[in-house]
Each structure stands twice: as C-alpha cells, then as structure tokens.
Amino acid sequence: MIRDMNSSMVEAIVKRVVDSHDLERLLCCGAPNDEYDCEVREITRVIEREGPVTVHGLTKAIRLIFFWSYHAWTIENLPNLKYYRPMAKELWDNLPKECQRRRQSSTSTKAHTTRT
C-alpha cells in the first residue's frame, strides 16, 4: 500500500489516460464523460492498494477490470494482454514515482524464492 499518496491526483491521471484510450470506443460515439468512471476508480484502488505497481501488473489489472465491466460472458473470452499494454504503459509513465515499480528480472526472482 502506498502511503501519503494524493489519491485525487492519481485518479485524475488514470481518468485522463483511460478516457484518451477509450478502449470500448464509447466516448467517441457520444457516451457521457463519466462512462469509464467506475473503471477509473477500480484502477486507482489497485494502484493505492498494490502499489508501487509494474507495467505488467497494471496491464493485468486493467484487463480484468474492463473484462468484468464490459465482456464477462465467459473466462475463455479473456482478451490478450497486448490490447491493454499501451494504456498501462502510458498510465505507468504518468504516475508519480512512488507509484511505480520496475519489474524484477527472473534471475532475481529465482534467487529470492530459493532464499525464503
């Protein structure tokens, strides 16, 4: 969990990025400006609760949040991560440094696993 984080600042960043990507192509078709606000709040909560976050972690979270909001027919239909990565990368690049975490290499992950 990230302490001393300005939640409204992070939520504003998330909203700007989510709306600009318009993954479901709803804003460009005339949907109201608050169309993605539920997803924005959920993504912000992930960052607050799990942070600092990696690009890969954000990508997975965004995919699940949008899947459950718009496509939850069956888990077999879960979209490929590559569809969500550009938005996650832009979001990660714009987050405050205390919210960002670089992905560990598999070597350091293995070393950590064998030590514990």
| Structural domain includes residue 1 | no
Tell me the three state secondary structure of residue 12. Answer: helix
- Beta bridge partners, 53, equal 100
Q: Calculate what percentage of the chain has a pLDDT beyond 90.
A: 59
- How does pLDDT run across 85-105, given as a tens digit for each residue? 999 999 999 999 888 887 654
| Structural domain includes residue 62 | yes
| Structural domain includes residue 50 | yes
**Model confidence, pTM:** 0.80
Total number of domains constituting the chain: 1
Q: What are phi and psi of 53, to 5 degrees?
A: -115, 155
State the residue range of the domain holding 84: 7-115
- Beta bridge partners, 100, equal 53
Residues 6+ apart with CB under 8 A from 38: 69
